[in-house]
Chain A
Amino acid sequence: MKALLRGTVVLLALALATLMLVAVLDLPMPTVQLPASVAANLAQSGVEHPVTAVLLNFRGYDTLLEIAVLLLALLGMLSVAGPQTAPKPALHVRPDPVLQALARLAVPLMILAAGYLLWAGAHRPGGAFQAGAVLAAAAVLLNLAGLLPAWSTPGRLLRLGLAGGFLLFLAVAAGLLVEAELLHYPPEHAGGLILLIEAGLTVSIGLILAGLFLLFGARPAAAAEES
């Protein structure tokens, strides 16, 4: 019975793959040419790189919701984790002096690189997500080297850092409602506003992504009592 079900699934998958391949090899030219539209409006978007313009200006609403998704995932992890009675999770990594020295050298450089990526996003590939990811990687490196403990329930300051970027983005979006539609940047201030939003997002994204990793390091209550 099980083999029959597995066989059906595999057959369905093969059928789907064939159908899609045939469909894809046969596509006509797209009717709407968005790249031309993006290029035409790039000057008023406040940034020079087309992907950043799409991400933070033309389709900025998607980015707003996406940050909400990221924050929500962290919230979900906090909910799922269950009661955490261990107040300060112990560092259960054996500290290695070589790794610690490397971490101490690398992390300041990584923070610098994150700052550069944030700034460069306006002109070339970069921006808040890339910078935030580098910051999170720095935090993970510190944790693996034994220099940063894992997290349990975040305190007030950390919660402010986690939600702050999103709230800033939301505040700017709502503030712009005074003049025009949601997220309608006035062209002369667009560059500055986008940079401001991206700066807030970098910090928040870095903290959230770090949290997604570091929350796993917390020992659940039961295990902490056994050890």
Chain B
Amino acid sequence: MTPGLIYAVTGLLLFVIGAAGVVLLAHALRKILAFNLMGSGAFLVLVGLAQRTGGVDPVPHAMVLTGIVVAVAATALALALVRRLHVLQVELHAKDASVAETEDA
């Protein structure tokens, strides 16, 4: 069991846990964290499997660098959406509360 294979197996497990997390977890922030776990798992698999024979392969390294940047970009957009949703829902609750107040009064 070479180190490369150990990384790959860990990556696969992380991927599956992350995927299950995105589906099962309720809170949006946790879903985003689970997605990052999925991504990291996929990167580990990519790099680990390439190393399983013992050599150093620069192509998966470049792919993972690209993948990390893409994951950062996607996470930022997802977080912005969560933030926007939160702000809008707070506004909605504030509006409902003030409408309820004027109805009571």
Contacts and interface: CB of A to CB of B under 8 A. Distances in A.
| Contact, chains A and B (beta carbon distance below 8 A) | yes
Interface of A: 6, 9-10, 13-14, 16-17, 20-21, 24-25, 27, 29, 34-35, 38, 50-51, 53-55, 59, 62-63, 66, 69-70, 72-74, 76-77, 80-82, 129, 209, 212, 215-216, 220, 222-223
Nearest to A24: B8
Contacts, number: 105
Chain B interface mostly? helix
Interface in B2-59: 5, 8-9, 12-13, 16-17, 19-20, 23-24, 45, 49, 52-53, 55-59
B77 A76 contact: yes
B76 A77 contact: yes
A66 B56 CA distance: 24
A9 B34 CA distance: 15
Contact of A81 (B13, B62, B80): B80
B59 A34 contact: yes
Chain A at the B interface: SS class: helix
Contact of B12 (A21, A62, A82): A21
Contacts of A69: 69-70, 73
B58 A53 contact: yes
Interface of B: 5, 8-9, 12-13, 16-17, 19-20, 23-24, 45, 49, 52-53, 55-59, 61-63, 65-66, 69-70, 72-74, 76-77, 79-81, 83-84, 87, 90-91
A59 B52 contact: no
A220 B14 CA distance: 36
24 contacts: A6-B24, A9-B23, A10-B24, A21-B12, A24-B5, A24-B8, A24-B49, A25-B9, A27-B49, A35-B55, A35-B56, A38-B59, A50-B58, A54-B61, A55-B65, A66-B66, A69-B69, A69-B70, A76-B77, A76-B80, A80-B80, A209-B72, A216-B80, A220-B84
Nearest to A73: B73
B7 to A, nearest CB: 11
Nearest to B68: A129
A223 B89 CA distance: 12
Contacts of A34: 57, 59
B59 A29 contact: no
Contacts of B90: 222
A24 B79 CA distance: 34
Nearest to A37: B59
Contacts of B79: 216
A127 B12 CA distance: 29
B85 to A, nearest CB: 9
A80 B81 contact: yes
A13 B19 contact: yes
B56 to A, nearest CB: 7
A167 B81 CA distance: 27
Given A24-B8, A72-B73, 14 more contacts: A9-B24, A51-B61, A51-B62, A54-B58, A54-B61, A54-B62, A59-B59, A70-B73, A73-B73, A80-B81, A129-B65, A216-B83, A220-B84, A222-B87
